[in-house]
């Protein structure tokens, strides 16, 4: 698939993504071993998303650590534009955000820009996005965030707090700029054109509220970078720190990494939802997970499988924390010792265990949802 085009924008991800090219194209920096070491000095251990370069790039993370070392703590900002149920790919940046919150003992501002998908999808109503906001929020809470350190910003609900701040950003962004960054045409609606200003707000709102400049670190999937590229230019001009960020790769869809850029919640056969039951997960993986194995058992034993394109293996790089176990699986699959069916079973067990636990916590989350809201 060399040379094949791929697309990564906040509204569309497709094709086989070349992350090295993205680093150059977006102008982010690769996370190198020196930076990993510096993080480890504070965290004691490294999250497997860092060890495996699933979080692979950043902007100004060294500055965030400089400030932290001077005693100037940052806060975290991430989010979810509600347009459907969450799939397990959505959890990736949030699991990492939770780890950062615990290790650095910092606040998280979690944005639900419930207007975004309404503005970009013809058939989605604000009633839909309100419903999904609540549904999606349960998964965030289920990951263990504490209400004392975590605030939910829901754009339409908290517009009283956010709109005024968004205006300060919006005044400094022209249509030319959003046109170039997002590929808008003159037929784009004026709400969608304005939207990026709302996405900028959480990166400095805590500084407004506490009336002092606080550094902000945004963990996010790489497709959101164009928003922050724009807002990083503007935010210092209105008197706040340029937000830093750390970017992750996409969890690929079940269909494989060659065709789909990331798991899509709207394509049911390629996604595992956080509420899928054991049977559904088992069926989906057995039926749809793209395999790097050979056509017959005999051939597989002889030639071995290819874990680098095998979705079950790729997903285990996200969900199996133990490096030793993962390495054994890699080697066994490559040598042909481990069959595709067996590899799928390992993933199925891992995921079902995780989801069973998650679904329990998700139920409990309903009781504490209100505690995360800004009144």
Binding site for a second copy (CB under 8 A): 115, 118-119, 126, 155-164, 166-168, 170-176, 178-179, 184-194, 196-197
Residue among 8 and 197 whose Cβ is closer to a second copy: 197
Residue among 153 and 221 whose Cβ is closer to a second copy: 153
Residue among 197 and 326 whose Cβ is closer to a second copy: 197
Residue among 14 and 172 whose Cβ is closer to a second copy: 172
Cα separation, 61 vs 39, in Å, equals 9
Minimum CB separation of residue 177 from a second copy in Å reads 8
Minimum CB separation of residue 356 from a second copy in Å reads 37
Minimum CB separation of residue 178 from a second copy in Å reads 6
User: What residues does 248 pair with on adjacent strands?
Assistant: 55, 221
Q: Is the alpha carbon torsion for 84, 186, 203, 375 positive or negative?
A: negative
Residue among 161 and 309 whose Cβ is closer to a second copy: 161
- Is 12 in a helix, a strand, or coil? strand
Residue among 82 and 261 whose Cβ is closer to a second copy: 82
Residue among 172 and 361 whose Cβ is closer to a second copy: 172
Read off the tokens for 360: 């329990």
Minimum CB separation of residue 199 from a second copy in Å reads 12
- Is 139 in a helix, a strand, or coil? helix
Residue 28 sits at the vertex; the CA angle it makes with 140 and 40, to the nearest 5 degrees, is 60
Residue 375 sits at the vertex; the CA angle it makes with 156 and 358, to the nearest 5 degrees, is 80
Cα separation, 237 vs 259, in Å, equals 41
Minimum CB separation of residue 120 from a second copy in Å reads 9
- Given a contact cutoff of 8 angstroms between Cβ atoms, the answer to whether 61 and 96 are in contact is no
Minimum CB separation of residue 204 from a second copy in Å reads 14
Read off the tokens for 251: 């969890």
User: What residues does 220 pair with on adjacent strands?
Assistant: 247
Question: Of 308, 248, 306, 315, whose CA–CA distance to 288 is shortest?
Answer: 315
Minimum CB separation of residue 298 from a second copy in Å reads 58
Cα separation, 109 vs 101, in Å, equals 11
């Amino acid at each position: 698939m060399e040379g094949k085009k791929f697309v990564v924008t906040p509204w569309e991800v497709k094709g086989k993504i070349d992350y090295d090219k993205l680093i150059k194209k977006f102008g982010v920096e690769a996370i190198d071993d020196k930076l990993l070491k510096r993080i480890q000095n504070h965290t004691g251990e490294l999250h497997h998303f860092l060890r495996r370069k699933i979080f692979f790039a950043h902007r100004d993370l060294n500055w965030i650590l400089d400030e932290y070392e001077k005693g100037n703590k940052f806060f975290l900002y991430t989010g979810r534009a509600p347009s459907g149920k969450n799939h397990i790919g959505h959890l990736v940046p949030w699991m990492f955000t939770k780890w950062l919150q615990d290790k650095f003992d910092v606040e998280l501002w979690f944005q639900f820009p419930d207007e975004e998908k309404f503005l970009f999808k013809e058939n989605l109503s604000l009633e839909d996005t309100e419903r999904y906001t609540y549904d999606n929020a349960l998964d965030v809470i289920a990951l263990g965030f504490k209400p004392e350190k975590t605030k939910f910003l829901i754009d339409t609900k908290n517009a009283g707090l956010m709109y005024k701040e968004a205006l300060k950003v919006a005044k400094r962004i022209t249509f030319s700029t959003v046109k170039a960054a997002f590929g808008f045409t003159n037929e784009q609606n004026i709400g969608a054109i304005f939207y990026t200003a709302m996405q900028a707000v959480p990166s400095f709102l805590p500084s407004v509220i506490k009336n002092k400049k606080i550094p902000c670190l945004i963990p996010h999937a790489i497709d959101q970078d164009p928003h922050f590229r724009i807002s990083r230019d503007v935010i210092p001009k209105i008197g706040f720190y340029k937000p830093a960020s750390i970017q992750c790769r996409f969890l690929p869809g079940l269909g494989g990494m060659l065709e789909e850029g990331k798991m899509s919640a709207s394509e049911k056969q390629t996604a595992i939802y956080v509420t899928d039951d054991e049977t559904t997960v088992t069926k989906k993986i057995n039926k749809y997970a793209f395999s790097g194995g050979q056509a017959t058992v005999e051939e597989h034993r002889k030639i071995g499988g290819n874990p680098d394109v095998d979705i079950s293996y790729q997903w285990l790089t996200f969900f199996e924390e133990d490096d030793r176990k993962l390495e054994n699986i890699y080697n066994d699959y490559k040598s042909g010792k481990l069959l595709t069916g067996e590899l799928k079973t390992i993933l199925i067990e891992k995921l079902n265990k995780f989801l069973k636990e998650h679904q329990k916590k998700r139920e409990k989350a309903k009781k504490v949802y209100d505690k995360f809201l800004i009144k």
